[in-house]
Structure 1
Amino acid sequence: MTHPLRIGIWALVHGNRAALNDPEEPYDASWPRNQALVQEAESLGYDCVLVAQHTANPHKESLDQLEAWTAAAAMAATTSRIEIIAAIKPMLYHPVVLAKMALQIEHISQGRFAINLVNAWNQREIVNAGIHFLEHDARYAYGAEWLECVTCLMQGERLSHHGAHFQIEDYMLRPAGTFRPRPRIYVGGESEPARALSAAQADVWFINGQPLPDVQALIADVARRPRPGEPLRYGLSAFVIARETEAEAQAAYERLLALAAQDTDIKAYVKANTDPAVVMRQTMAKSIRVGTNGGTAAGLVGSYDQVAQRIAAFHAAGIETLLLQFQPFEAEMRRFARHVRPRIAG
């Protein structure tokens, strides 16, 4: 069964999503901007916001960086309807502490909070903090045990756990279950361990932007795996450039592509700090694109009608949550809400 389509946005935790130096979008990763952005997104009818987690800016360490979990708590207190999804890298937080934080934000938001588990691609962020950076598959084994503990605690269950990474004795958290059994769980990543973890423990598997046939193949692979409970649901990241005509959209795309080409120092910095085993890096290398996490590789560049039709095709393939990026963000977010969203059925 395909659920109704939900459309969300990425918070601007590290500023611009496509190109750093854009005269139409001066760099700004501040809390005031993100607060206003999320409040406006809610008023425009967007369903959710993803707050990515980085402690230092992953593109350039001299740039500002919004902290995900304190910001998510503040967003919870200053909105009323939108779902707030905070990303989390398990190596940075003990499961007991993180579960308590999640339950607090769930309580503040009155049942609108979710976590997005990502197993860390930025080696510098971990290693320079004095934390051992596990190899790729070991990070997922760690994340699976971590998430098992967090899930139990978020559900208000009493936990005694003795595993490879965590020793937890007779722990229970309150308040829990006030609004629903627990916050929703998203998992990101497309490697084999990420797929296995998503099938076993996630509510929603978050896929990086890529062409429809590739997304269909990914969904088919994970959907056939054994799974406890309700069927897994699917989300997709995408960068949108929509205009009245396809030619206008292509011109806007070429503008951003040219601006992004100037960010050679950023690209070199990111590459130097990225674990080469991360599948996202391999996927992104397949196409010329703008935006993060796949960006325009999902093909949402075109006329209003074309973009709406392509979104409908993703929805028919099983994507139920779209997390969108734009640049300049606020203006294009408004354009999408006005011209594309009404063209999408469901």
Structure 2
Amino acid sequence: MSQIEFGVWAPVHGPRAAAHDPQEPYDASWEHNRATVLEAEALGYDSVLVAQHTANPHAPNHDQLEAWTASAGLAALTRRIEIIAAIKPALYHPVVLAKMALQIEEISRGRFALNLINAWNRAEFDRAGILFLDHDLRYAYGREWLSIVKRLLRGETVTHRGEHFAIDGYVLAPAGKFRERPRIYLGGESEPARELAAEHSDVWFINGQPPDAVEGLIADLEARPRGGKPLRFGLAAFVIARETEAEAQAEHRRLATLAERDKADRAIQKANTDPKVVMFQTIAKNPSVGTNGGTAAGLVGSYDQVAERIAAFHDAGVEVFMLQFQPFRAEMRRFAEEIFPRLGRSPATVAPSLRDAL
């Protein structure tokens, strides 16, 4: 198995655990995201996931970073870190999206990736007059969409006649300057999502949940027919690591208490959420701090405990850990300084003056 990769979630809609934290005021600005990603790269993190929302999914009046324009900016500013932009297929025609992806691939010199997700926020579509298909139909749409995008990313001339798209001799250039095509991540744990991941993705993202559940999901995907390279696995997780387990649990309680103040925002999110989305069914079974399963992955504890749990997940097949923190930059730094060495990685040193400048 390859070396563990550590990524971070860009703070595209502010803090991940609680919106009313005095240690991390709400900030979804370009400046904050830019600084966070540049510091993550300087510290040695491998990737950043830029989630896609047109309007803030928690509170309509809150700021929301736009994923694809921000990813292009990050591509120009960074030198090593992989930039993963999430995409909801119904928002972009596959030809347009493939061209955007190839442009960011060129800007980044081969460091760009797509994270295809099945949209859950109905309001984002309904209020714009965009058709919000039923859950399984969204995946059928996404399958046709992705089959076109993958061919365009490889520089193929595409002629396609399908249920949703009719394309005649389309080819995009430049393509293949740095590798065959950008990497494709896929999120979602429903049966249609698993089928699509096994058939078309390079990395399957699993939402934060206990180790036994993660092992079962990996076993299920590994048993499915697949052509080409083996499927790789990623895990979303919110980390709270301290010198002692007691200190980590105390911080967990602090964030959980603060999150209670976000009940009104969570009610808005719940009202707008497609109840068929498996992610939210899983989260309901494993209450947590953070998004996408957050602390349900169990990365709350002493430095040694967190490192041991990550190693156990890695042994089970997880290669990519997409991490959340709060306050984000301070805890991201702590993780690099304390957990990286325990897993055989050397954190890069970021001078205090540079941190202030980022």
Q: Which TM-score band applies after superposition, normalised by the shorter structure?
A: over 0.9
- Supply the distance in 1 between the matched residues of 2:221 and 2:335 (Cα, whole angstroms): 31
1:341 aligned to 2:325?
Answer: no
Q: Is the 8 A contact 1:152 1:159 kept in 2?
A: yes
- Supply the distance in 2 between the matched residues of 1:332 and 1:266 (Cα, whole angstroms): 25
- Supply the distance in 1 between the matched residues of 2:287 and 2:227 (Cα, whole angstroms): 38
- Supply the distance in 2 between the matched residues of 1:114 and 1:213 (Cα, whole angstroms): 29
- The residue aligned with 2:140 is 141
Deviation at 1:119, TM superposition (A): 1.1
- Supply the distance in 2 between the matched residues of 1:194 and 1:140 (Cα, whole angstroms): 7
- Supply the distance in 2 between the matched residues of 1:147 and 1:228 (Cα, whole angstroms): 16
Deviation at 1:341, TM superposition (A): 1.2
Deviations 1:95-128 (A, max 9, x none): 0000000000000000000000001000000111
In the TM superposition, what are the counterparts of 1:250-265 in structure 2 within 5 Å? Answer: 250-265=249-264
Q: Is the 8 A contact 1:237 1:294 kept in 2?
A: yes
- Supply the distance in 2 between the matched residues of 1:237 and 1:121 (Cα, whole angstroms): 17
- The residue aligned with 1:294 is 293
Matched letter for residue 210 of structure 2? P
Aligned-partner SS, 2:274:
coil
- Supply the distance in 1 between the matched residues of 2:235 and 2:171 (Cα, whole angstroms): 34
Deviation at 1:339, TM superposition (A): 0.6
Count residues in correspondence: 345
Aligned-partner SS, 1:164:
coil
- Supply the distance in 1 between the matched residues of 2:339 and 2:252 (Cα, whole angstroms): 17
- Supply the distance in 2 between the matched residues of 1:124 and 1:169 (Cα, whole angstroms): 33
- The residue aligned with 1:11 is 10
Deviations 1:282-320 (A, max 9, x none): 000012210000000000000000000000001111101
In the TM superposition, what are the counterparts of 1:26-105 in structure 2 within 5 Å? Answer: 26-105=25-104
Structure 1 unmatched ranges of 5 or more: none
Deviation at 1:13, TM superposition (A): 0.4
Deviation at 1:345, TM superposition (A): 3.6
- Supply the distance in 1 between the matched residues of 2:122 and 2:190 (Cα, whole angstroms): 17
Give the alignment's Cα RMSD to 1 decimal: 0.6
Deviations 1:55-79 (A, max 9, x none): 0000101000000000000000000
Deviations 1:188-239 (A, max 9, x none): 0000000000000000001100011000000000110000101100000000
Range moving further from structure 2, 294-303 or 282-291 = 282-291
Matched letter for residue 293 of structure 2? G
Q: Percent identity?
A: 68
- Supply the distance in 1 between the matched residues of 2:315 and 2:74 (Cα, whole angstroms): 31
- Supply the distance in 1 between the matched residues of 2:261 and 2:36 (Cα, whole angstroms): 26
- The residue aligned with 1:160 is 159
Deviations 1:147-196 (A, max 9, x none): 00000000000000000111000000000000000000000000000000
- The residue aligned with 2:352 is none
- Supply the distance in 1 between the matched residues of 2:344 and 2:194 (Cα, whole angstroms): 29
- Supply the distance in 1 between the matched residues of 2:183 and 2:286 (Cα, whole angstroms): 32
Aligned-partner SS, 1:107:
helix
- Supply the distance in 2 between the matched residues of 1:110 and 1:119 (Cα, whole angstroms): 28
- The residue aligned with 2:124 is 125
In the TM superposition, what are the counterparts of 1:207-222 in structure 2 within 5 Å? Answer: 207-222=206-221
- Supply the distance in 2 between the matched residues of 1:262 and 1:55 (Cα, whole angstroms): 24
Q: Which runs of 4+ in 1 moved over 2 A?
A: none
Matched letter for residue 247 of structure 2? E
Deviation at 1:3, TM superposition (A): 1.5
- Supply the distance in 2 between the matched residues of 1:125 and 1:288 (Cα, whole angstroms): 25
- The residue aligned with 1:231 is 230
Deviations 1:120-146 (A, max 9, x none): 000000111101110000000000000
Matched letter for residue 199 of structure 2? A
- The residue aligned with 1:249 is 248
- Supply the distance in 2 between the matched residues of 1:269 and 1:294 (Cα, whole angstroms): 18
- Supply the distance in 2 between the matched residues of 1:277 and 1:303 (Cα, whole angstroms): 36
Deviation at 1:344, TM superposition (A): 1.1
- Supply the distance in 1 between the matched residues of 2:42 and 2:341 (Cα, whole angstroms): 15
Matched letter for residue 137 of structure 1? D
- Supply the distance in 2 between the matched residues of 1:117 and 1:289 (Cα, whole angstroms): 24
Aligned-partner SS, 2:255:
helix
Aligned-partner SS, 1:261:
helix
**What TM-score, normalized to structure 2?**
0.96
- Supply the distance in 1 between the matched residues of 2:335 and 2:48 (Cα, whole angstroms): 15
- The residue aligned with 1:304 is 303
Structure 2 unmatched ranges of 5 or more: 346-358
Aligned-partner SS, 2:271:
helix
- The residue aligned with 1:179 is 178
